[in-house]
Amino acid sequence: MANPNIDGISKTSFSIHGVGVSSGIAIGHAHLVSNALREVVHYQLQQYAIAEEVARFEQAVITVKTELEAIRKQLPKSAPAELGAFIATHLMMLADKSLSEVPKNIILKEQCNAEWAIKLQMDDIVDQFEQIEDEYLRERKQDVVQVVERVIKVLLGHPNQAPNIKNSQSSNKEQESAIILVAHDISPADAIQFKQHQFAAFITDVGGVTSHTAILARSLNIPSIVALQRARDLVRDGELIIVDGGMGVVIVNPSPEILAEYKLRQEEWELEQQKLKRIKSNKAITMDGTPIALFANIEVPEDVDAVKASGATGIGLYRSEFLFMNRREMPDEEEQFIAYKTVVEAMNDLEVTIRTLDLGADKQMNPETVSNCANPALGLRAVRYCLSEPQIFHTQFRALLRASHFGQLKILVPMLCTLAELRQTKLLLERAKISLRKENIPFDENIALGGMIEIPAAAINANAFARELDFLSIGTNDLIQYTLAIDRTDDAVAHLYNPLHPSVLHLISLTLQAGAKLGKTVSICGEMAGDTKLTKLLLGMGLRHFSMHPSNLLSVKQQVLQSDVNKLSVAARKILNNDEIEKIELLVNKMNH
């Protein structure tokens, strides 16, 4: 693979291979998303260049100050007060001598570049914050990091995270649709912000096929590829690139012939998507007359439009944690209530299942926060975190209960492992009900409570959970991760992540059997539900409730309409009786063809 020519006179075409996480073909120009702190390098300066370097640093500080002042002036009157305070804090830090003057002294003393000097100073300040016992004050170190990142981006000559497009709204969309974001990594918090834009695609150096960033990529319904290793280094800003999400291939500086071929493929892909819309109003019923419920997953209230466009039965998973992200403070009860009520009312009395807060692992409230836990996926997350912070749980339960008065709202609790956790949760839910009754605030007294089966221990003990819950939902992403001991965010082991591992299938089967035995609905809300290669297998195993991103729903419905459950159940039994992944994969392929 040849590198592109640095001088820009001749451009070499080359391809990079990664892991496709969202299908489709995008053609556009690369926009490099900066990760400033990772890009800082140290170099020595000649004596004559030091004064110029100090001046460069001073100008960068002035530029950032001007940017922040402009942002503050542009804040709408309706903006939360904390946004203005947040910007004021950054301006105050930027004016402090520890950031505006000390780095200049470091440049003079060590004869180093400005980026390195301010990063050294940042590290020193962060270390000082780490010594503070008060947790709130200790976390203010993130403000320092963010201010320094802004200065370093200016010094490195990088644009902001998202391209700065200043024309009319319609031209914004046109320009964004020709932009492909190229990053070392994109956090789930960043990906949520991208929902406000209409970028053509995004690609990253790292990531796994079921990381939360990949899941969000699918919800954006744009071609996306992760685990490209060195794309951020090899691709230059503004270069024409092709992203083939289905094949996991990025082509940089394509030849006219390749470009023409991919434009044709892109048109064919879009035509297929248009054809699928013809079955939107069709009921999801198999050829032998078995009705299937197809629900949609959402992250933010604005996703409801996509749910309606897909013709979904309802919302099977509303990931409420995204309401908590990209901010310093927890949303209060009123803010949560309004968000939940908005979704419930918009769905016109269709079911809406809202998952309680599932922060932890690669989803942090503050995107700059780094967990001190050696393995965040096994740490204090989801229901464990909520039970350790009962006031947070109480506030969310009150908001959910209040919203239940306005439609069919169901509550789903993530990452249950023991019956003790479930009973503690039910006790806190009851306390929230009591508090609302005292205030004469109406809510659904018979609100359904469900639990996510995503830990192997819970799947093995599914009968016990089914007895105490109104419904179950299998979170296959974490279930596979925990069963196979594979970090789903780590591209180094991505090839080992396999939903067709016999142990995974047996745990799913155990859960489905428990639901059938006790008359409780069981759904799958993980990525397996939206994978059309697995639809027939899951139907054969007894799954009747699927929940997936709206963009996958019509493709899955097409599979449902072409299926015969009686025949599939016979084939599924053969698969469940097999112990070898390779043979299982062959049998699944045979089932699909």
Element (H, E) at 559: helix 550-561
CA dihedral 564, 565, 571, 573 (to 10 degrees): 180
Furthest-apart CA atoms within the chain: distance in Å: 83
Strand, helix or coil at 453? strand
Burial status of residue 522 (CB atoms within 10 A of its CB: 0-12, 13-18, 19 or more) = buried
* Structural contact between residues 531 and 543, judged by C-beta atoms closer than 8 angstroms: no
514 CB burial (10 A radius; 0-12, 13-18, 19+): buried
- Catalytic residue selected from 386, 525, 545, 549: 525
User: Do residues 161 and 34 lie in contact, with contact meaning Cβ atoms separated by under 8 Å?
Assistant: yes
Contact of 100 with 91, CB cutoff 8 Å: no
The Cα–Cα gap between 191 and 544 comes to 31
DSSP 241-306: EEEETTTTEEEES--HHHHHHHHHHHHHHHHHHHHHGGGTTS--B-TTS-B-EEEEEESSGGGHHH
Clarify whether 386 is annotated catalytic. Answer: no
Q: Kindly write down the DSSP assignment for every residue of 467-510, as one continuous string.
A: HHSSEEEE-HHHHHHHHHT--TT-GGGGGG--TT-HHHHHHHHH
Length of the chain: 593
Cα–Cα dist 58/333, whole Å = 44
Determine whether 495 is an active site residue: no
Phi, psi values for residue 560, rounded to 5°: -60, -45
Q: What three-state secondary structure class fits 17?
A: strand
Distance CA 525, CA 317 (A): 7
Q: Out of 90, 184, 212, 549, which one is annotated catalytic?
A: 212
Tokens of 252: 């940089």
Active site residues: 212, 525
